[in-house]
């Protein structure tokens, strides 16, 4: 049954609520990473390696969490990262997260692999909308997606560049998880132990990735399951191809999946509007640097030419504070709101944002900082 969100006091509480409600194959798809999951764990651990230096005797009775995100005001230094297949965890989960983001006054990024269409989100969740595009081998199909996002008035296009091939996600292999989902004796037995989730699937069927209807994504054998994510992506995509998208797309362009300062500089030089420091949540190259550790070098390299956003491992409001202190304009939230939606739908997603906001405000107060604009590196030790 859905979690009582009033009893969730942390993102970890929401994670555990999602874990209790979902079959293992579905939860592990959301929760897992590549290979030994070293990078997955390190993304969160990196924040814990840095300590805070509180300043005292400052009037912190009023805290301003507002900021500018990609040239427009946001009520919090956060945006929702693209997360695929959310409807596998909660039917209508994409829309639930988008509505929670709109209510919180922050941007929402729709994934190419969402279980809601570009148009459904635009119609059902008025707010600041960004569309994330994976680079498909089928270029006419990809361009049609981008054209649809423009027609639906999405303000920004997010190009994910760290998925030339799918990562080796061994939890998915062991659980027989693929896209579309394959029903096997192993996962059917697991489904039966989660009747609340199963009853929805029996009644309405397994959700589909609405934006990819018409694009073949099926894993046809057990050996193909581990690579089902990424099979349709184009490993030949390069800087020249990215420039063509930049030249054609008339609005803001964000490049997500940057860990190298040199790559960030090149994005700025080619006319990109922002970079997202991301390792795909530890789901691609295991052993890749934690994003928080990569952030300072990228901020220094771009030297204010374009905004830098940070993705990966954010579980506490203090993590957001630390990212701002190192020069990020804001963070992108993937699993945090995904856990909330999987545990309890829109109330769960809203609860995730409320938890992080409360923790951010509390951290600012205890560190003697009244505004997100005043968060400096001197607050870190």
What tokens were used for 111? Answer: 């994934």
Yes or no: is domain 5-379 CATH 3.90.600.10? Answer: no
Is residue 280 annotated as part of the catalytic site, yes or no? yes
- When mean pLDDT is compared across 16-20, 208-212, 253-257, 324-328, the lowest value belongs to 208-212
Domain boundaries, the chain: 5-379
Q: What are the pLDDT digits (tens) for 7-24?
A: 999 999 999 999 999 999
- The enclosing H or E element of 331 equals strand 330-333
Give me the mean pLDDT over the 162-178 stretch: 90
pTM of the model: 0.94
Single out the catalytic residue among 15, 280, 351, 357: 280
Distance CA 295, CA 176 (A): 35
Strands 72-74 and 67-69: antiparallel
Positive or negative torsion for Cα 257, 262, 263, 269: positive
Q: What are the pLDDT digits (tens) for 75-98?
A: 999 999 999 999 999 999 999 999
**DSSP class of 289:** P
What tokens were used for 72? Answer: 């427009």
Q: What pLDDT is stored for residue 229 in this prediction?
A: 53
Buried b (16+ CB within 10 A) or exposed e, 119-140: ebbbeebebbbbbbbbbbeeee
Instruction: List all residues 6 or more positions away from 299 whose beta carbon is below 8 Å from its beta carbon.
Output: 308, 326, 327, 328
Q: What pLDDT is stored for residue 188 in this prediction?
A: 83
């Amino acid at each position: 049954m859905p979690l009582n969100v009033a009893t969730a006091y942390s993102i970890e509480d929401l994670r555990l609520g999602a874990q209790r409600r979902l079959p293992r194959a579905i939860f592990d798809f959301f929760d897992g990473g590549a290979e030994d999951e070293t990078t997955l764990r390190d993304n969160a651990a990196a924040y814990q390696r840095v300590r805070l230096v509180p300043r005292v005797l400052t009037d912190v009775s009023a805290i301003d969490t507002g900021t500018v995100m990609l040239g427009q005001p946001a009520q919090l230094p956060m945006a929702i990262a693209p997360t695929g297949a959310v409807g596998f965890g909660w039917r209508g989960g994409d829309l639930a997260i988008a509505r929670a983001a709109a209510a919180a006054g922050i941007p929402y990024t729709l994934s190419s692999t969402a279980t809601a269409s570009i148009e459904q989100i635009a119609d059902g969740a008025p707010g600041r909308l960004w569309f994330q595009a994976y680079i498909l081998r089928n270029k006419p199909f990809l361009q049609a997606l981008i054209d649809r996002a423009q027609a639906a008035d999405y303000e920004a296009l997010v190009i994910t560049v760290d998925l030339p091939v799918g990562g080796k996600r061994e939890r998915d292999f062991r659980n027989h998880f693929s896209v579309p989902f394959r029903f096997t004796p192993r996962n059917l037995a697991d489904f039966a132990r989660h009747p609340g989730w199963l009853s929805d699937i029996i009644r309405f069927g397994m959700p589909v990735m609405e934006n990819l209807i018409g694009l073949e994504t099926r894993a046809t054998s057990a050996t193909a399951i581990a690579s089902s994510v990424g099979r349709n992506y184009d490993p030949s995509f390069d800087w020249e191809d990215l420039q063509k998208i930049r030249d054609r797309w008339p609005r803001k362009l964000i490049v997500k999946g940057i860990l190298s300062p040199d790559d960030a500089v090149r994005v700025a030089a080619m006319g990109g509007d922002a970079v997202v420091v991301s390792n795909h949540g530890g789901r691609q190259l295991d052993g890749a640097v934690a994003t928080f550790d990569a952030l300072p070098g990228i901020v220094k390299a771009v030297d204010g030419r374009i905004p830098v956003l940070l993705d990966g491992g954010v579980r506490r409001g203090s993590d957001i504070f630390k990212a701002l202190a190192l020069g990020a304009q804001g963070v992108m939230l993937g699993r945090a709101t995904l856990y909330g939606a999987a545990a309890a739908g829109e109330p769960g997603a809203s609860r995730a944002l409320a938890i992080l906001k409360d923790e951010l405000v509390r951290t600012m107060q205890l560190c003697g900082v009244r505004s997100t604009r005043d968060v400096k590196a001197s607050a870190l030790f």
